[in-house]
Amino acid sequence: MSETNGPNELGAALRRWRDRVAPAAAGLPAGRGRRAPGLRREELALLAGVSVDYVVRLEQGRATSPSVQVLTALARALRLSDAELRHLFLLAGQPVPRSGVISAHIPPSVQRLVDQLGSTPVSVYDAAWNLIAWNALWAALVGDPSGLPERERNVLWRHFAGLPVRVTHTPEQEARFEAAVVADLRAATARYPDDPGLRSLVAELRDVSDRFERLWDTHAVGPHTTDTKTVHHPDVGPLTLDCDVLTVPGSDLRVVAYTAAPGTEAADRLRLLAVIGTQTMTGPRS
């Protein structure tokens, strides 16, 4: 932590921000007998994907120089505004994210949307198609990604590296999906030419997949917006769902929602999954 910010300003800010986030707003059960008005330390740790001990050490000033990834995860969990995000980075002694680098920050309004769409599987991705947030029903549908390494949370990496997934496409759907998502990624490289993570992702994809390299070399650009996918769930069976990609105005975040047409078998199975598939989930994970 930067010495110019006074004695443990970072810890004090984290405690104040934690106190103002109601558990229900974060998709967590409020419970009874709570003394703290906002999130407990263990709840913040759960939402941010860090250990409780690390949160304690940050708040007590015993942990210094938290990484950019940790700060970004804390900002999402605490529903920080853009100004508060910049303040958090300054207090932690980290460079404020530059406009030429992909941001994984989720505005509070987008996080509320994810939290409140409990009956719809919803996930959020950054401009490089890294998964950065999801709700409980999405995790129940496609599998909980909370234990995955960062690279394996990338949509293109999972697809072109051939990692196991529950989603399948027809040959026509797969060709359409691959062309669209690669064109979307190439467009992102023009917007973020200085982003090292994006450059590394492209290089690794070219090494691991001849199909990706052929598509990349076409230089096609364009957004990935919608498609139909079949998800093979181990408990409720296959669900053929519409997949719509919504962009957040003023940012490159993509909110992806899976829906089923009313009256279909897939709609019935999705409702069943909302009952049985989320019973062990504690709430949305960030």
CA–CA dist 270, 238 (Å, integer): 10
Candidate from 56-60, 254-258, 277-281 with smallest mean pLDDT: 277-281
Task: Please report the domains of the chain, with CATH numbers, ordered by start residue.
Answer: 3-91 (1.10.260.40), 108-276 (3.30.450.180)
* pTM attached to this predicted model: 0.71
- Decide if pLDDT at 189 tops 90: yes
Structure tokens at 45: 């740790």
Report residue 198's pLDDT band, with 50, 70 and 90 as the boundaries. Answer: very high
Candidate from 55-69, 152-166, 194-208 with smallest mean pLDDT: 55-69
Contact 101, 227 (CB under 8 A): no
Q: What is the mean pLDDT of residues 62-69?
A: 84
CA–CA dist 166, 238 (Å, integer): 9
Which pLDDT score is estimated for 6?
A: 47
Q: Are strands 237-247 and 254-259 parallel, antiparallel or unpaired?
A: antiparallel
Place of tokens 């929602």: 257
CA–CA dist 257, 279 (Å, integer): 21
Report residue 216's pLDDT band, with 50, 70 and 90 as the boundaries. Answer: very high
